[in-house]
Every structure is written in C-alpha cells, then in structure tokens.
Structure 1
Amino acid sequence: MSPRVEESMSVVNNEILQRHLLELTTNFLAPFGPYLRATTPSERASPFFDPPPLPTFNANEFLESLSARGTGKFLSKRMRANWLDLYRRFLKGHNFMPWFQRRRTVAEQEQHRLWRQARLRTEIQQYLLKMSELEIVDSFNVIEKHLLVEIQLQHSGRSSADSVVACQKLKGDLQAVFKVLPKDMQHLLLFNPQTAALLQGSLEVTKVLGHPSIQVEVVSPHSPR
C-alpha cells in the first residue's frame, strides 16, 4: 500500500472517529437539554412579562428521571457499560458544574435576547384589553425595569446598536400601560420621581434615583426634536 493511500485512509478513519465521538457526546449530553434551552414567548403570551426561569437542576432527580426513561436507542446500543453510573460520575466530576454553568449562562442570555426582540416588535395595545389589572401593573413594572436596563447599558457604553430604538419603544409602551391604569394607581406611581421622570412629556434630563451618575433623557413622542 502506497504512503499516499495510507495517508488518505488515515484521514478518513480520523473523520469517522471524530464523527462517532461527536454523536456519542451529543447524545450523552442531550438529557441536559431541557435545563439549558432558552424559551420564546408563545403566540398568545405577552412578551411584556418576565420570561419563565430555566428549570431548576437537581442531580438526584435528574438521575431518577433518566433511570426511569432510559438514555435512548443511540446510547443503549453503543454503551455496553453501566450508562447510569457514567452519568453519576460525570455529575460528580470537577468539569460538570463549570460546563453546566457556562451553558446555563448562554441559555439565559439567549432567552433575554429573544424576549427583548419580542418586546420590540410587539405592539402592547393588542394585549392591554386582555389583561387583568394585576397583569397590567406587572407589565408596567417589567417595562420600567427593562427600560432602566437599556438606559444603564447606554451610559456604560455596552448598549447594542438598536438600544436607542429600544428605549423609545419601551418609553412608548410604558406610557401606554400607564394610561390604562386606575387613577389612584397612576397617582401612586407618580410619587416615585424616577417613574415620573420616565413618564413626563417634556424634554428633560433627569438623574435616575439610585444611580446618580446616570441621566435619563425623557422625550415625549409629541415633542419636537
């Protein structure tokens, strides 16, 4: 056999081995998927609430569930060893928690991005008529929180390219929700200078309470620029 043929066979064998190991790894890690998967708002759900947290991971419950349902045909055909013990050893190993936390952080960041996008492209008016008073108040609080986050990111220089658009969109949403709140609730909210600054209709630069170095430029949609 010529050296060139041997080299070609070696390359092919390496590719086959790499593909096999990738399939094994992917299928081995698949049961962790539900704990590391970002969710998106459903078509009927309002994105103006906080997204649900990712499922809580408990090693014992994970192993019990895995033992009850099995690993699936792919691993059961290829893993002659005690696969449940392999998972148990993996969970106790030094590499598991750093890996899990990194993947968890990535999933949470992706979920934040998906829900942020949904808020920016969704008109809140289509949900207001369907919301209870409590849901409207919750939406107001969530929108205000995300608006302040956008403002802080702008101030720190870590904002995204569409942050200015996001701020204007969230300010409009905040005002829309405020208008449908009961009058007594409106008066109560306006006692908070930070909230009042975000809602007022004139062009003004106001310091955010708790963040004296951050200034909020509040622009009414009807104000000339």
Structure 2
Amino acid sequence: MELVYPYDFRLTEKEKTNICYLSFPDSYSGGLGDSQFSFRLRQSGGQRNTHFGDDGEYNREAPLTLQRESAHYFGYVYFRQVKDSSMKRGYFQKSLVLVSRLPYVNLFESLLQLIAPEYFDKLEPCLEAVCNEIDQWPPPVPGQTLNLPVMGIVIQVRIPSRVDKPGSSPLKQFNQENLLPAPLVLPSVQELDLFRCFQSVLIHIQMLWELMLLGEPIVVMAPSPTISSEMVLALTSCLTPLKYCCDYRPYFTIHDSEFKEYTTRTQAPPNIVVGVTNPFFIKTLQHWPHLLRIGELKMSGDLPKQVKVKKLTKLKTLDTKPGIYTSYKTFLHKDKTLIKRLLKGIQRKRPSEVQSALLRRHLLELTQSFIIPLEHYIASLMPLQRAITPWKNPPQIRPFRQEDFMKTLEHAGPQLTCVLKGDWLGLYRRFFKSPNFDGWYRQRHKEMTQKLEALHLEAICEANIVAWMKDKSEVEIVDLVLKLREKLIRARCHHLPVKEETLQRVGLYIETIIGSLPEDLQTVLHHH
C-alpha cells in the first residue's frame, strides 16, 4: 500500500492486507487497460470513531438498503494494467481504492473515473487536492439533491429517502442553478443496470429472487472482479424495499482472512453471497448448495445465451461450463410474460435502462406481494390506542405467531396482488427460518415499540396531571417525575416519532409537578 489519504485514517494491519488483495484481480487476467469493481470488507478490531458523529440520524431517514454500515467497509477499485517495459514484470499495475461505509456504488465509481486517470498521471498532489475538495462536500441527507464539486466538474446526485415511493425514478435533471460547466448528473447513487447484470440468467430470475429472499449460500463464479461484483450487488438489490440481512462479498479472494471461515466443511455454509474469479473456489466450495457460473456474455442469434440449471454433481472440473449448479426447486412458477417482454425488448433494441426498469418493477412488485401480508399481520399485533393510558406502562406488542399468520393468507395472501402461482405457503415457511425474516421482524418490532412510546407520551400530555396529583403521596409524585424525565430523554436520544410541542409540554409538566413539592425536595430533583 503506497499511500493512504487522509493520513489520519487508521486501518488495522489485517484490513490493510485484505484491501491489498481485494484491489487486484485474483487470477491472471489477460485484459489490459482499466477496470472497475467493488468489494465489501469486515471491519477488524474495535469500534472506530467515524467523522460522521451520529449515524443514527442518517440511518433513520435513509432507505434500509442504503444505511451506513458500522461493521463493514465498502471498497471501490479502479485498476489499471498497461504494458510498461521499465517495470520488472513488464506491466504497470496499480489500483486506486476508495473506502467508505456507504453503498453508493454509482457515485463512487463515477468519482473514481474522474480521479484515477489523473492520479496515475500526477500522483500524490492530485489526491491531496481531491481530498480537500471532498472534505468540503455536504453530508449525505436523504431526500436532498447534492452538488459535489471535484476537479472542475460538479457531480449532481439525489440521496434517496425512506419516504420515497418505491419504484419511482428520481428526476433526470434538476434546476441547474447556473452551474457551469453543466453538471454530471447521476440518475441514481446506487442502482445498477440490472438488465445488463442479469442478461444471461433472465429465465432464472424467479429462482434467484427466491434464493436471495431465503438467504441461501450462493457462490457467483465470474471471469472478472467487475462481473463478479456487479452480479453480487445486483442479486442483493433484488429484494428492495426489503433489506437483504445476510452477508455478501461482491469480490472475494483466497487470501482473505475470512477464507477459512467460509470454506470449512465441518459446518453448513454461511448465509452469504460471495463473488469469486479464481477457479480454485469451485474445488473448495463444492459443498455449497448453489453455484452460479457466469462466463463472458455469449449471444445465440440476437439474444443473450441463457445459462442452464445443472446438478451439483456436474461440478467436477475447474473449467466448469456456465450454469446454475443447484438442486433447488422454486416454490413459485416463472413469470413467462415478463421473460417474453424482455426478450422481445432485446430484439427491438429497447434501451438497457428501460429493460432494467421493467425488471426492477417486476422484482419490486414480487417482493411487495410477499411482504404486504406480513405487514398487515404485524400491524394487527399492535395494542389498540384506547388501551394506552397515561399512568400505566404502555401495553405490550403481541407475539408474532407463524401459524396465525399462515391462517390470514387464505383471504389476504399474495394472490390478491400477484399473478404468480405456486406454493406461497411453503415459501413463507422457509422464509421464517432465514436471517431476512429475523432482520425484518426486529426492525418492525423496534419501530412499533417506538410508536407505542410516542403514543404513551401523547396520552400523558392530554391527561390532567393536577387532578391526578391531588391524592398522591410525595413518593408517588417523585416517582412520576423520574419516570417522565427518563421518557423525555429516551424520546430525544432515540428520535421517537413525537411532535416537538409534545416534548415541550412534558417538560413543562415536570416543572409543574416539581413546583408543587416542598422546597427541599425541589432542590434535590433540580440537581438530580
């Protein structure tokens, strides 16, 4: 590692080693020129202070799929390999890597396309200038459009927000504010060209969506880190707006410190999608249940050649043919009309972004059909508003009972919104065992608990405190003050969904109650 910028950014030795290996193609790649890819790296060592202060605020407003990660870094790589006789190996090989906790793949790849060629030319001074510019950038605020100046260009991009309507595409061009030169407008911070990524597996889109939904262990074996990382990121984005809660490695090498953990045969493979390029992995990961081998794109006539589903036992040799090696049987049937539309689109030379939008909408509708019944059922577990009284702790959210949920499917299941037939019940049963269900349930339970606390605070605000205090002992009154204070602190720290005026009223209530107590107690409570 020649240079780390800014200088004060601390990486552990293990992270440095991993980054070095992840920044180069793993197997001999004959390709000369420039390539870009990305990786995801587990943070090793203790918590580090981020420059961002409170991630909480960003993470509460960002879509779940774009939250800042606390335990992983993303790496965005720009790799250059050109013939150079002055070098010992006869080649110039170098990578510029941008490390971030944000999964903004489009923004950071576009940024590297501007910086890297300059950097290979002018080296360190260029990096220093660029880092100074990036330091001035505003923080990403969900829902805002940012103008990000770098090297005489302004990158313009909108940061998505949790309240955006799923499936709506952001505006292509925003008001220019007389920006000269015209800004480089990115249609999205993170959305990939799904159609390009999935061209050779279009007829298996249903299977891939189910494998992702169930958090199954998948190896993506690709000819280059670029293809491997794009495919893994495309797969993890299939579940939007549901968060993919398993691990994923867009590009992974045999030198990685997690290699042993993933390849051990003594335990079941972890819930992870890993992207690899070294054929050696076919040998080491033979016990994994699903392997997707993709080659360079081949055409049959004017259509992309589709890979076939093959039995895992066929995985014998390192020069394995492209295919999906699995014994998985899908729960739902294929959507033949979608596949026909996409294939027709190729013949009619429909632009890739239109094809991607079709694909994205299909996946979104599929995920929503699956998740809406779960949302309806979990909403029914919330206590009734009239059960929330000011002087008692708020009632509990009722437990999630899988069998009760399954009963609701007869009259309110996915069949209402989705034309796909198949064994939906079987799919839900498998989903309940996956980390994605666990992640979804915890997130919803947390949001509902916060909502209950907010409703309770509002109930307290509407109550007649003075009447309540009439026949209470000092001990009970002091107890109330302490409880209200604790509630107020929680509401502020956890940014509960409560109106500011409600919080101010609770504050006034506390003052009123303290004011009614004897002076010695008032002094104690004011200092407490």
Question: What is aligned with 2:297?
Answer: none
Decide whether the 8 Å contact of 1:49 with 1:142 is kept in 2.
no
Given the two structures, how large is their TM-score scaled by the length of structure 2?
Answer: 0.26
Task: Tell me if the contact between 1:153 and 1:159 (Cα under 8 Å) persists in the aligned partners.
Answer: yes
TM-score by length of 1: 0.54
For 2:431, the equivalent position in structure 1 comes to 90
Bigger proportion of residues as strand:
2
Partner residue of 1:206?
A: 524
CA distance in 2, matches of 1:99, 1:15: 25
Which of 502, 507, 520 is the matching residue for 1:167? Answer: 507
8 A Cα contact 2:484 2:510, kept in partner:
yes
- Does residue 425 of structure 2 align to residue 107 of structure 1? no
Residues of 2 paired with 1:55 and 1:39: CA distance? 7
Cα distance in 2 for residues equivalent to 1:168 and 1:74: 49
Higher relative contact order (CA 8 A, sep 6+): 1
Q: Unpaired runs of 5+ in structure 2?
A: 1-347
Change in Cα spacing, 1:141 to 1:90, as seen in structure 2 (3 Å) is farther
Gaps of 5+ in 1: 134-138, 176-196, 208-213, 217-225
Q: 2:394 aligns with which of 41, 51, 54?
A: 51
Matched, 1:18 2:335: no
Report deviation, 1:73: 3.7
> Compared with structure 1, are the counterparts of its residues 149 and 16 closer, same or farther at alpha carbon in structure 2 (3 Å cutoff)?
same
Equivalent residues in 2 for 1:208-223 (5 A)?
215-216=527-528
1:52 partner amino acid: P
Whole-angstrom distance in 2 between the partners of 1:127 and 1:6: 75
Distance 1:110 1:24, change over 3 A: same
How many residues align structurally? 168
- 1:13-34 CA-partner distances (Å, limit 9, x unpaired): 3223322322222231122224
CA contact (8 A) 1:171 1:198 kept: yes
Q: Is the 8 A contact 1:48 1:142 kept in 2?
A: no
Following the alignment from structure 1 to structure 2, what is the Cα–Cα distance between the partners of residues 17 and 106?
30
Q: 1:41 aligns with which of 385, 391, 414?
A: 385
**8 Å contact from structure 2 (residues 388, 459) kept in 1:** no
The share of aligned pairs that are identical, in percent, is 20
User: Is contact 2:373-2:409 (8 Å) kept?
Assistant: no
Shift of 1:90: 0.4
Counterpart position of 1:136: none
Structure 2 residue aligned with 1:221 = none
Q: Is the 8 A contact 1:147 1:170 kept in 2?
A: yes
Q: Give runs of aligned pairs for residues 137-216 of structure 1, distance below 5 A.
A: 143-144=480-481, 146-150=483-487, 158=493, 163=503, 165-170=505-510, 172=512, 175=513, 200-202=517-519, 204-206=522-524, 215-216=527-528
**Contact persistence 1:50–1:142 (CA under 8 A):** no
Match of 1:185 in 2: none
Deviations 1:148-183 (A, max 9, x none): 4146659xx9487665642322454xx5xxxxxxxx
